[in-house]
Amino acid sequence: MRWREALFAPTGVALIGASDEPESVRSRPLRFLRQHGFHGRIYSVNPKRTTVGGEKAFPNLDALPEPVDHAYILVGADAAIDAVAACAHHHIPVATVLADGFAEAGAEGERRQQRLLDAARGRTRIVGPNSLGVVDVATGMALTANAAFAIDHLRRGRVAVISQSGSVLGALLSRGESHHLGFSKLISVGNEADLGVGELGLALVEDKATDAILLFLETLRRADDIRRFAHAAFAAGKPVIAYKLGRSEAGRQVSASHTGAMVGSGEAADAFLADCGIVRVDNFEALLEIPPLLKGHRPANRQLRVGVVTTTGGGAAMAVDRMGVLGVTIAPPTRPTLARLAKRGIHVKPGRIADLTLAGARYETVRGALEVLGQAPEFDSVVAVIGSSASLRPDTTVRPIIEAARKHPLAVALIPEAPAALAMLGEAGIAAFRTPEACADALKAFAHWRKPRSIKSVPPNPKAERALKGAPSGWLELGQSLDLVATLGVPVARSVRLLPGDTKPPRLRYPVAVKALSSSVLHKTEASGFILAIASPSALRTATTALLKRLPKAARRDGVLVQEMTRSLCEVLVGYRRDPEVGPVVVLGMGGILAELRHDFAVRPAPIDNATARAMIDEVVGLAIVRGFRARPKGDMTALVSAVVRLSRLAGLAQVAEAEINPLMIRETGVVAVDSRVRLAD
């Protein structure tokens, strides 16, 4: 049996370390399997007991009367390694490991986790360690230690869950029950020592019982596997929705460059997930509620236009206000749409929303309004915001919503607490949101949904490889950084190096700037490491002497870089970094010394193509001044596209950990790099 079948549909399971103590976590899997109707064979393995849960127990795997397909290992960390070895010896396809104390526990735990993998000998695939188990709702295969599965009945649905937090499975299970939403499969991946989100996701793509896949992520491991899974899911028409932790300032990587300060792992993860076609929500409720909104639809690949119909003006204002904050476009009904409403006897005042008022909270009115708006060409999606009638008279407002849901994605925001309405909408497969905040978050996520982009490999760059040959790890000095940028094909300002004691003036066009070369002077503004607008050779000698005097002694030995100054329309930052979670990313933002304070930038996994670079340019608000804003002169956007694409090709140079051009000067014709920094990996 393949591991995928053994994972979800084993014919026999072994519970290694199963306990008879009712309050013990190790007693739950047997109880849950029996309770939820698993029909496969179940064997408890415990050398200290002859029975577990009133059933015969076996001292070891050798004593089992027949082979099993899936083992749930419930013993401690060190004993779990021996148990995995025994599973490999018996060619058991899958073992799920409950124990903690592995990679999450530091260096010793990492070594223990490697021993766990070694024990599998390539014969047994491992879920976990630190996994609360695997559940297939259809077969009652509740192979889990999560206490939430003590509920009487598991509701079947067509949404699967992969979670890096085992406890979150229980939270989704209980919240789903309140919405009358069920699941197909639920998996707690734990540390992902072996089977991870990517491989497990691919298994769910092949699962005929699953239409959508939810991810609860604390980190991203094996990003390439996740990308393959996301592409396969998109091709199969199965939306993938993620809720990921790690957007706070506390999660940001410490870095000496502007790029590192601007783009932490949270921003890089955002860019990666979007690039893979994975929908990311910020609201935990929205993770559960959004799947029906996406089912059967594809990304709009343009600004999503949302129409709002309501029976409660105040409630609709709450929803519209939150959508506006999140950048969702609320489109008003056009005159022809208002006329079609009027023909049905529905009179709505022109405005941002179609307000039926409390008097319109009637079956015929709500259904007629939704049918008209659902067919209106000015809307990509329609949101129905329902007030107190949702809880007091759901038949008058909820039933017509169910019957009218047709062509466009339809969402329902319920302002009161309305469990009966939620249940009706959930059973009908309509996206119903308990709060306007969750509804707005879901629509924003839908609006930002993109088709997954394929990442192509970077061809070799012999010039860049020669430029880096023999270079030590750490930050390169300024001249070396600019040389590397030039090998990528990005234009660089004409420059000449001067060592202490050099007296011959460089043959450059004045005015010039003089800058510290040393790799120890990364932020030249803070270190007073440059002098600008030097008009003559004599002034250059004076400036060079003054600059060297104020540099630290170690930095003086490297000398200075004299560079021709250039005029520009705008300064931008083009950065690159190899993120520890998602790999290479490229960033474009407004340049200068305040780059990270503006928080106006676009990020994509690297490398990118011209179309992706143009999309990044459109995202940076500050670049409007050179994209043709009013009567201002236009910058050379074609040259900027080329520079961003070329820097992204650093993804083909594994030794480059971080790089940045800041500023890159945008001119009416061409672009010029005048400062750069590059850090090589250890």
pLDDT at 224: 94
Cβ burial 281-308 (10 Å sphere, 16+ → b, else e): bbbbbbbbbbbbbbbeeebbeeebbbbb
Bigger pLDDT: 498 or 673?
673
Q: Cis peptide before 291, with omega less than 30 degrees from 0?
A: no
- Average pLDDT of the residues in 16-31: 92
Mean pLDDT across the chain: 89
- Average pLDDT of the residues in 177-184: 88
Band (179; pLDDT cuts 50, 70, 90)? confident
Q: Strand order in 125-127's β-sheet? A: 51-52, 55-58, 41-45, 12-16, 70-73, 94-97, 125-127
CA dist 70 and 488 (Å) reads 52
Write down the H helix ranges in 43-91. 77-89
Band (526; pLDDT cuts 50, 70, 90)? low
* Claim: this prediction has a pTM higher than 0.75: yes
**Residue 414: helix, strand or coil by DSSP?**
strand
- Average pLDDT of the residues in 359-385: 87
39-56 pLDDT, tens digit per residue, is 999 999 999 999 999 999
Band (255; pLDDT cuts 50, 70, 90)? very low
pLDDT at 405: 78
Quote the tokens at residue 488.
């990528």
pLDDT at 247: 61
- Average pLDDT of the residues in 222-241: 97
pLDDT at 146: 95
Phi, psi torsion values for 566, nearest 5 degrees: -140, 145
Residue 250 has pLDDT above 50, yes or no: no
Cβ burial 617-628 (10 Å sphere, 16+ → b, else e): beebeebebbee
Please state which of the ranges 13-17, 25-29, 590-594 shows the lowest mean pLDDT: 590-594
Residue 395 has pLDDT above 60, yes or no: yes
278-328 pLDDT, tens digit per residue, is 999 999 999 999 999 998 888 877 778 899 998 888 888 888 999 888 888
Query: Residues 110, 102: contact at Cβ < 8 Å?
Result: yes
pLDDT at 240: 98
- The DSSP 8-state label assigned to residue 165 in this structure reads -
pLDDT at 251: 40
With a CB cutoff of 8 Å and minimum separation 6, the contacts of 400 are 363, 364, 366, 367, 370
Ordered structural domains, the chain, with CATH: 3-210 (3.40.50.720), 300-448 (3.40.50.261), 494-565 (3.30.1490.20), 570-680 (3.30.470.20)
Query: Residues 82, 45: contact at Cβ < 8 Å?
Result: no
Bigger pLDDT: 551 or 438?
438
Bigger pLDDT: 171 or 361?
171
pLDDT at 10: 96
Percent of the chain scored above 90 by pLDDT?
62
Write down the H helix ranges in 376-418. 389-392, 394-404
Quote the tokens at residue 328.
């969702």
Query: Residues 420, 397: contact at Cβ < 8 Å?
Result: no
Residue 263 has pLDDT above 60, yes or no: no
Residue 520 has pLDDT above 90, yes or no: no
Residue 258 has pLDDT above 60, yes or no: no
Please state which of the ranges 168-182, 574-588, 618-632 shows the lowest mean pLDDT: 618-632
Phi, psi torsion values for 601, nearest 5 degrees: -150, 165
186-227 pLDDT, tens digit per residue, is 999 999 999 999 999 999 999 999 999 999 999 999 999 999
Residue 256 has pLDDT above 50, yes or no: no
Residues in the chain, overall count: 682
CA dist 91 and 290 (Å) reads 40
Band (254; pLDDT cuts 50, 70, 90)? very low
- The DSSP 8-state label assigned to residue 365 in this structure reads H
pLDDT at 594: 54
- Average pLDDT of the residues in 532-553: 87
With a CB cutoff of 8 Å and minimum separation 6, the contacts of 13 are 33, 38, 40, 41, 42, 43, 68, 69, 70, 71, 72, 141, 143
Query: Residues 647, 658: contact at Cβ < 8 Å?
Result: no
Identify each DSSP E strand in 374-427 by its residue range: 381-386, 410-414
CA dist 62 and 381 (Å) reads 59
Residue 253 has pLDDT above 50, yes or no: no
- Average pLDDT of the residues in 618-635: 85
